[in-house]
């Protein structure tokens, strides 16, 4: 594993040598801009037009943005994630919002071509940033795409703690080499912190030499060392599970609807409780309709009708009880129930 890790790092560092143009930041704000020839070293993301350099690629896609048609369906009615900002010197301010902007446009992959996505991004950069910062953001985009492609080529690990630790080190080294420490931390710092937390948590859970009290104490200490925002995220993630368990316990004890609502309001607030109860009503409605459907479906199966007539009647029953968007779920549940009988 360590040998594979070292070979992978050396290979990826060599890739980084052609990826890195220089990240905008404190280290290069007083230096002269790269020439067009020097800028054309992203390597992994090939330009649609051969011969274009880094700066002219940006100009090419910025101009192409003016001729684009309507946005793909997944982006219609949405706002771009991430607020791009500049420093007092007019440089791109390095923060997590940059990656959020890139990922927002990349969600349209599969709905339109990568060239159109590049054009939409270039047009957005031109609209939101002064020219120098927009060029800096474009460089980061090309480095980011090269890094994404390289990380997709990483081999799968076997799920062991040792293998996961090695994979984390490998990704971290790639990110630092391709983007530089400042940008890598802004883009991936929280992801890396969370991944390391989950790996160390798994290591504690698998450590058979720990007594239950020791394990619980170390798990608590591990979580308390996380940033406050991440601790809140974990607590928020666990809260619905805890609330569901507590609600079920109260119902079994004969608690009233008012008592259950009070518990929910105490946990999430009044507005959230209204949404929660609406979802609960939808779930109850679904369960009642699906239960009725299962009963009538079984009656059709036992009716003696031919297979063709059964399928016609079943399709009619589904249309009567469910909306079109629910049919895929119904059919999937039917397959599961058939396989497990």
Q: Are residues 245 and 321 in the same domain?
A: no
CA–CA distance, 39 with 283 (Å, rounded to integer)? 55
- What angle (nearest 5°) sits at the alpha carbon of residue 100, between those of residues 95 and 103? 140
pLDDT in tens, 36-86: 333 333 333 444 455 565 568 899 999 999 999 899 888 988 999 889 999
Q: Are residues 154 and 118 in the same domain?
A: yes
| Helix (DSSP H) and strand (DSSP E) numbers for the chain | 14, 0
Confidence class of residue 278 from pLDDT cuts 50, 70 and 90?
confident
Per-residue confidence (pLDDT) for residue 178, from 0 to 100: 94
Residue 217: inside a domain:
no
Residue 203: inside a domain:
no
The pLDDT of 230-259, averaged and rounded, is: 80
Per-residue confidence (pLDDT) for residue 284, from 0 to 100: 85
Confidence class of residue 200 from pLDDT cuts 50, 70 and 90?
very high
Per-residue confidence (pLDDT) for residue 131, from 0 to 100: 94
- Answer yes or no: are the C-beta atoms of 111 and 72 closer than 8 Å: yes
Q: Which among 145, 128, 187 has a CA at the least distance from the CA of 54?
A: 145
Per-residue confidence (pLDDT) for residue 274, from 0 to 100: 76
Q: Are residues 36 and 168 in the same domain?
A: yes
Nearest 5°: phi and psi at 92? -65, 130
The pLDDT of 196-223, averaged and rounded, is: 92
Q: Are residues 275 and 256 in the same domain?
A: no
pTM above 0.75, yes or no: no
Q: Higher pLDDT residue, 252 or 66?
A: 66
Nearest 5°: phi and psi at 166? -65, -40
Residue 76: inside a domain:
yes
Domain count, the chain: 3
Q: Are residues 110 and 187 in the same domain?
A: yes
Residue 61: inside a domain:
yes
Quick check: 238 pLDDT over 90?
Answer: no
What is the C-alpha R_g of the chain?
27
Q: Higher pLDDT residue, 88 or 155?
A: 88
Residue 281: inside a domain:
yes
Quick check: 128 pLDDT over 90?
Answer: yes
Q: Are residues 253 and 278 in the same domain?
A: no
What is the domain range of residue 320? 271-339
Per-residue confidence (pLDDT) for residue 22, from 0 to 100: 40
Q: Where are the beta strands (DSSP E) in 85-202?
A: none
């Amino acid at each position: 594993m360590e040998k594979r890790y070292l070979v992978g790092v050396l290979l990826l560092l060599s890739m980084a040598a052609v990826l890195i143009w220089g990240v905008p930041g404190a280290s290069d704000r007083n230096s002269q801009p790269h020439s067009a020839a020097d800028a054309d070293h992203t390597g992994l993301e090939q330009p649609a037009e051969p011969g274009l350099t880094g700066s002219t690629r940006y100009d090419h896609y910025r101009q192409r943005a003016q001729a684009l048609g309507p946005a793909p369906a997944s982006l219609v009615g949405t706002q771009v994630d991430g607020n791009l900002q500049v420093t007092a010197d007019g440089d791109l301010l390095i923060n997590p919002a940059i990656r959020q902007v890139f990922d927002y446009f990349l969600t349209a992959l599969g709905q339109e071509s990568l060239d159109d996505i590049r054009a939409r991004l270039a047009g957005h950069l031109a609209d939101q940033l002064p020219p120098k910062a927009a060029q800096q953001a474009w460089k980061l985009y090309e480095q980011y795409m090269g890094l994404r492609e390289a990380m997709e080529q990483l081999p799968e690990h076997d799920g062991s703690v040792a293998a996961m630790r090695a994979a984390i080190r490998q990704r971290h080294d790639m990110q630092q080499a391709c983007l530089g420490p400042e940008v890598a931390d802004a883009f991936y710092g929280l992801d890396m912190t969370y991944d390391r937390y989950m790996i160390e948590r798994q290591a504690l859970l698998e450590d058979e030499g720990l007594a239950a009290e020791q394990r619980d104490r170390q798990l608590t200490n591990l979580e308390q060392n996380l940033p406050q925002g991440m601790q809140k995220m974990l607590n928020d993630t666990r809260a619905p599970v805890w609330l569901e368990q507590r609600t079920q316990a109260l119902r079994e004890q004969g608690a009233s609807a008012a008592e259950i609502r009070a518990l929910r309001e105490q946990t999430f607030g009044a507005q959230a409780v209204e949404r929660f109860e609406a979802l609960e009503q939808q779930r109850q409605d679904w369960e009642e309709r699906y239960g009725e459907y299962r009963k009538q479906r079984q009656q059709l199966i036992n009716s003696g009708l031919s297979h063709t007539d059964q399928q016609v009647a079943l399709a009619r029953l589904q249309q009567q009880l469910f909306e079109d968007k629910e049919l895929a779920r119904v059919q999937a549940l039917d397959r599961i129930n058939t396989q497990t009988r």
